[in-house]
Amino acid sequence: MGFPKDFLWGAATAANQYEGGYLSGGKGLSVQDTVTGGDGIHGIPRYISVRYADGTTGMLKLGMGCELPAGAVAYVDEKQYYPSHVATDFYHHWKEDIALFGEMGLKSFRLSINWTRIFPNGDEEEPNEEGLRFYDQVFDECHKYGIEPLVSMNHFDCPLHLASEYDGWASRKVVDFFLKYAETILTRYKGKVRYWITFNEVNFLRSYHMIGITETESNPQKLAQAIYHILLASAKTVRLAHEIDADNRMGMMFAYLLSYANTCNPDDVLAELDFSRDIKDFYLDVHCRGYYPNYKLKEFERKGIRLVKEEGDDQALRDGTVDYIAFSYYNSSVISSAPVGEEAGGNHFGGVKNPYLESSEWSWGIDPKGMRIALNKLWDKYQKPLMIVENGLGAKDRVEEDGSIHDDYRIDFLRKHIREMEKAISLDGVELWGYQVWSAIDIVSAGTGEMRKRYGFIYVDKDDDGNGTLERTRKDSFYWYKKVIASNGEDLD
């Protein structure tokens, strides 16, 4: 019973939400550096500052259906506030933060490498040595505390130059640029990093601010080609990583949107099947089985989409299947064939509101049992080891007069999920390598650009407008998670 002895209890972050130092140490601009802050509670969206082909500029609202027209590029407008520029400043606090992670007893720490810190434009011949040195220090410091780094090569991140000059992942050339970046970091950090993720939430890589392509909505052929390039780059990276070091453990990462059919009406069940295939199964099938599934090929046929491939691509997909499946799990969703009732919130997709679940302040349905279901579905279907690399609660925290932060709601959320995870291991026999809570420390929200939507065990003094001392304070959940880790998941009180 219980968790395996070497279970990776950890916590996660992402460079564009945490690192800051957006032009320090030779770093180049990333598309994320052109996305403004927002306010989810008050419905204020995030924007991208855009320069159109005719030279005019404007602010484009991010969200469903938003796209940059061909020829448009994003840029940094000095009058705007961009949360990624400083974020919660890991760049200048890495030593202090890793010491706190060590104090908490983390066995693993998930972070992403900023592509533009290594290749500022993305297409240079030589990498930026100062950027490489930054992560050397970070990984060495992690090992000092016995923390295993778990590294995402790409977390919603594309060099702005690649977007402006090549139309991002729509260009086949970007596959080679990414492979060069991957080879550089795999070689440099050999022996320091063993657990890798190629792309974060690969099933959501569809918009300009993540993959740097224009016409994402109006040109399905181009989007399908860009997604193909990403999946191909991921597969080629897996193979390369195994060649560089047979000890590397290569994972793909996707957002597990567990979905339920709204009723037993077969139309709802079919709608749920379509949703699951489109939003997650397709990506899993390619990464785990090494080829495009028939339902996707049929969809392409119907839509008149023809992928442009090169010789050897099919083999590369087959050779690059992953060693383990990494996924984020926040909420489940309910799918209906017809519009009904109230919409629910969620990371990227809400669906119909589930009457059996409580919701977070941001209306995400809280479904701990869904996590056990997700683990079982994945294990049954692919028989590959699993790793939960994001799970957590975004909530507003209050700092008391004495400086303490009593985040019992977060503890409650995590405790319920850990219990279900334990059942999946000990009652269902699922092979689970680890659990990375989102997030190790407060960072900027990806969806809303807010600071007030906090996930961390460590509070960072910073507000939605970028004001604050950046001082770090341990929350109650910090001490609680420390106990959980020390008892290998037995003491959840």
Residue with tokens 């780059």: 233
Quote the CA–CA distance of 401 and 226 in Å, as a whole number.
51
Among 447, 481, 484, 485, binds ligand BG6 (CB under 6 A): 447
Residues 97 to 126 in contact with ligand BG6, rule: CB under 6 A: none
Nearer to ligand BG6, 164 or 448 (CB): 448
Residues 345 to 384 in contact with ligand BG6, rule: CB under 6 A: 347
Question: Are 367 and 231 in contact, with CB atoms under 8 Å apart?
Answer: no
Nearer to ligand BG6, 333 or 445 (CB): 445
CA distances (Å), origin 219, targets 68, 225, 305, 310, 324 = 11, 10, 10, 21, 33
Instruction: Tell me the Cα Rg of the chain.
Output: 21
CA distances (Å), origin 231, targets 159, 200, 244, 345 = 18, 12, 20, 28
Among 27, 110, 372, 453, binds ligand BG6 (CB under 6 A): 453
DSSP code string of 406-460: --HHHHHHHHHHHHHHHHHHHTT---EEEEEEE-SS----TTT--SSSB--SEEE
Strand partners, 395: 454
Quote the CA–CA distance of 170 and 333 in Å, as a whole number.
30
Sign of CA dihedral 211, 217, 221, 224: positive
Instruction: Name the catalytic one among 19, 201, 272, 422.
Output: 201
CA distances (Å), origin 479, targets 107, 430, 482 = 15, 28, 5
Nearer to ligand BG6, 97 or 201 (CB): 201
Question: Are 344 and 362 in contact, with CB atoms under 8 Å apart?
Answer: no
Taking contact as CB under 6 A, which single stretch among the options 63-71, 172-180, 445-453, 464-472 is the one that binds ligand BG6?
445-453
Token pair of 414, please? 């995590």
- For residue 36, how far is the Cα from the chain centroid? 19
Quote the CA–CA distance of 231 and 225 in Å, as a whole number.
10
202 part of the interface to ligand BG6, by CB under 6 A: no
Binding mask 251-290 for ligand BG6 (x = CB under 6 A): ----x-----------------------------------
Degrees, nearest 5: CA angle 363-43-154: 75
Binding mask 381-410 for ligand BG6 (x = CB under 6 A): ---------x---x----------------
Taking contact as CB under 6 A, which single stretch among the options 280-288, 294-302, 405-413, 438-446 is the one that binds ligand BG6?
438-446
Residues 57 to 96 in contact with ligand BG6, rule: CB under 6 A: none
Among 445, 457, 464, 475, binds ligand BG6 (CB under 6 A): 445
> Measured from the CB of residue 302, what is the shortest distance to ligand BG6 in angstroms?
29
328 part of the interface to ligand BG6, by CB under 6 A: yes
DSSP code string of 228-275: HHHHHHHHHHHHHHHHH-TT-EEEEEEE--EEEESSS-HHHHHHHHHH
3-state DSSP assignment of residue 24: helix
201 is catalytic: yes
Taking contact as CB under 6 A, which single stretch among the options 29-37, 44-52, 111-119, 446-454 is the one that binds ligand BG6?
446-454
Nearer to ligand BG6, 225 or 477 (CB): 477
201 part of the interface to ligand BG6, by CB under 6 A: yes
Nearer to ligand BG6, 101 or 292 (CB): 101
417 part of the interface to ligand BG6, by CB under 6 A: no
Instruction: Name the catalytic one among 141, 148, 299, 390.
Output: 390
Among 30, 88, 198, 200, binds ligand BG6 (CB under 6 A): 200
Q: Which residue is nearest to ligand BG6 (CB)?
A: 447
Question: Are 423 and 372 in contact, with CB atoms under 8 Å apart?
Answer: yes
Total binding residues for ligand BG6 by CB under 6 A? Answer: 15
Quote the CA–CA distance of 227 and 292 in Å, as a whole number.
12
310 is catalytic: no
φ/ψ of residue 215, rounded to 5: 55, 40
Nearer to ligand BG6, 10 or 127 (CB): 10
Sign of CA dihedral 108, 111, 112, 118: negative
> Measured from the CB of residue 389, what is the shortest distance to ligand BG6 in angstroms?
9
> Measured from the CB of residue 222, what is the shortest distance to ligand BG6 in angstroms?
24
> Measured from the CB of residue 126, what is the shortest distance to ligand BG6 in angstroms?
30
Nearer to ligand BG6, 11 or 261 (CB): 11
Residue with tokens 């994945």: 378
Quote the CA–CA distance of 326 and 170 in Å, as a whole number.
25
Nearer to ligand BG6, 16 or 248 (CB): 16
Residue with tokens 């669906």: 351
442 part of the interface to ligand BG6, by CB under 6 A: no
> Measured from the CB of residue 253, what is the shortest distance to ligand BG6 in angstroms?
8
Among 106, 286, 446, 484, binds ligand BG6 (CB under 6 A): 446
Residues carrying an active site annotation: 201, 390
Footprint on this chain of ligand BG6 (rule: CB under 6 A): 14, 17, 200-201, 255, 328, 347, 390, 394, 438, 445-448, 453
